Structure 1
Amino acid sequence: MADNEVSEEGTGEAPAKSKRKLIMIAAAAAVLLVGGGAGGYVMLFKKKDHDKVAEAPPPSKPIFVDVPELLVNMNVGPGERIQYLKIKVVLEVKDQPVVAQITPNIPRMVDIFQTYLREVRPTDLQGSAGMFRLKEELTRRVNVTIAPSQVSAVLFKEILVQ
């Protein structure tokens, strides 16, 4: 009888293991089905969001405001010959209301530019890094002048160091 009981227990475990495998396979299939459905749902909605972005109107073109040409003598060391900087810049603005705020402040900006440029040394303008620093500094000074509005960039039309 003991042999009988052992064989029954052995046969009793085999169906239990096969049921577990069947349950695990069914659960994995359910997870894949739900995951695939969720992925398809997300992909469909992302495509619709992309279409909405394509339908958005194109951004407005920037507006450019001329600043009068400036001619300043640069800061040079004692005994060096005087050097001059001639610069012509344009302000890049996104909206027309900002132009209305800039126009009455142009004399103030010219004064701030001249004061700053008179302290610039010829060595400060060497290379592209020097030009980039000059552009960033002029942009910062314009934005302080017309705050809370902002200018996108200061663009150089002409720079001459003589």
Structure 2
Amino acid sequence: MKEQSGASNTKRKFAVISACVVVLLCVLGVLGFQKMHQPPPARDVKKSALTILSIPTIMSNLDTGDGRARYVKITARVQTEGTPDAAKMALVMPQIQDAFQTCLHGMRPDEMEGVGIYRLRETMLVQIENIMAPLPVKDLFFVEVLVQ
């Protein structure tokens, strides 16, 4: 008779332990589900003011390949996040103008049509971001592009 009660106790212990494991897994599943479907915690996000800086008008000659002089005149503006320091901007503006000059000297007049303006904008945006770092540059706008 004692062997049956010992086997019975073992079965009862196994049933209790199994029930505890099942309950624990259910609780962990519910907690995980709730955590997945919670909105992310609100962060303290400050909206920075966007500032538009004018780049002085740039005049450059284009590579025609035939010796004829062709010029381009570009007026552009840069949109930055935050308020830049005027003294720092005065120091980097010649670098920005030089980057424009370097890029424009290698372009042909036919590249200044259609998609070429977009490529020029993308190229210059990357260079301006590097020059003005760590100030975040958001966009580059061409106000005037005149090819003569």
Per the TM superposition, whether the score is higher than 0.5 is: yes
Matched position secondary structure for 2:49: coil
2:52 corresponds in structure 1 to 64
The unaligned stretches of length 5 or more in structure 1 are 1-18
State how 1:1-150 maps to structure 2 within 5 Å.
33-46=23-36, 49-53=39-43, 56-78=44-66, 82-97=69-84, 100-128=87-115, 130-147=116-133, 149-150=135-136
The unaligned stretches of length 5 or more in structure 2 are 1-10
The answer on whether the counterparts of 1:98 and 1:149 sit within 8 Å (CA) in structure 2 is no
The higher-RCO structure (CA 8 Å, 6+ apart) is: 2
CA RMSD of aligned residues (A): 3.8
Matched position secondary structure for 1:67: strand
Matched position secondary structure for 2:40: helix
Between structure 1 and structure 2, the one with the greater Rg is 1
The answer on whether the counterparts of 2:81 and 2:135 sit within 8 Å (CA) in structure 1 is no
Aligned length: 141
Matched position secondary structure for 2:42: helix
TM-score normalised by the chain length of structure 2: 0.64
Give the number of the structure whose residues are more often helix, by fraction. 1
TM-score normalised by the chain length of structure 1: 0.60
Q: Which amino acid aligns with 1:69?
A: T
Q: Which amino acid aligns with 2:58?
A: L
